[in-house]
Amino acid sequence: MKTELKYTLDAGHGIRSISIHAHKYAAAGSGFYAKGVFALQEGDTDLGDIVFDDKMMQWEYTGMGNLTHEEAAMIAGYIKNKSQPLL
């Protein structure tokens, strides 16, 4: 999968183009990287993160109101349905 995804969100009040990037964090004392943390951006605006559990089943949106829960759920579903997480 690409290192960046584009998601077109029809928010009812206009089309929004959301960029999705995987966060890469080095785990303490190892060479492993955390998976399941995805940064959302619209142009130059940071929209927060969608954070999945280890099995990519449950998620939460860490943004500050830039997306509704329903909009975040659509984006989370889009990420989840990809064959491999962004790395």
Question: H/E element holding 77?
Answer: helix 69-80
Tokens matching residue 18: 């959301």
For the full predicted model, state whether its pTM sits above 0.85.
no
**Quick one: pLDDT at residue 86?**
46
**Burial (CB count <10 Å: 0-12, 13-18, 19+), residue 80:** middle
pLDDT digits (tens, 9 = 90+) for 35-84: 788 999 999 999 999 999 888 889 999 988 789 999 999 999 999 887 45
**Quick one: pLDDT at residue 39?**
93
Instruction: Name the residue ranges covered by the structural domains of the chain.
Output: 4-80
- Mean pLDDT across the stretch 18-30? 76
**Quick one: pLDDT at residue 30?**
60
**Quick one: pLDDT at residue 7?**
92
Beta bridge partners of 84: none
